[in-house]
């Protein structure tokens, strides 16, 4: 089975740094994605990790530890527009090839 766990809600203030954690237990692993979803809109791709370590992309970074089944998304210099749901998704392999298994998303609210 697939189990992907992330906090339901987080809040932070403008200019701050926030870390959104994701833990997973899956029968196959072929990479981990982070997506951003604003209310009423489609999910959009933020980052992808398949090897252990940190991937940095501007204000956003994503970290993966495969041995621990753990990832985090780090958002720096928060802006009001970063208020959104952040979805962690694990890509399957083998019999689950092509599947993306999503967590329930973390709703981030950024306050002025």
Is 34 or 72 the residue whose CB approaches other proteins more closely? Answer: 34
CA–CA separation, 41 and 111 (whole Å): 21
CB of 15 to other proteins, least distance (A): 27
Nearest alpha-carbon partner for 90 in 41, 43, 32: 32
Long-range own/partner contacts, residues 57-66 (CB < 8 A, 24 or more apart): 60/34, 62/32, 62/34, 64/32, 66/29
87 near other proteins, judged by CB under 8 A: yes
The distance between the two most distant Cα atoms of the chain, rounded to a whole number of Å, is 46
CA–CA separation, 42 and 108 (whole Å): 16
Among 16, 17, 50, 80, contact with other proteins (rule: CB under 8 A): 50
Binding region for other proteins (CB under 8 A) out of 10-18, 19-27, 58-66, 92-100: 92-100
Among 22, 64, 86, 105, contact with other proteins (rule: CB under 8 A): 105
On whether the CB atoms of residues 106 and 5 are closer than 8 A, the answer is: no
51 near other proteins, judged by CB under 8 A: no
Among 1, 53, 98, 112, contact with other proteins (rule: CB under 8 A): 98
Which residues here bind other proteins, judged by CB under 8 A? 30-31, 33, 37, 41-45, 48, 50, 85, 87, 91, 93, 97-102, 104-105, 107
């Amino acid at each position: 089975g697939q189990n992907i766990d992330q906090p339901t809600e987080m809040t932070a203030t403008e200019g701050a740094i926030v870390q959104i954690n994701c833990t997973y237990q899956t029968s196959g692993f072929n990479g981990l994605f982070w997506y951003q979803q604003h209310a009423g809109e489609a999910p959009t791709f933020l980052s992808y990790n398949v090897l252990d370590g940190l991937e940095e992309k501007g204000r956003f970074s994503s970290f993966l530890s495969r041995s621990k089944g753990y990832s985090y998304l780090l958002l720096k210099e928060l802006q009001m527009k970063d208020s959104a749901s952040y979805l962690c998704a694990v890509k399957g392999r083998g019999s689950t090839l092509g599947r993306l298994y999503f967590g329930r998303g973390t709703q981030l609210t950024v306050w002025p």
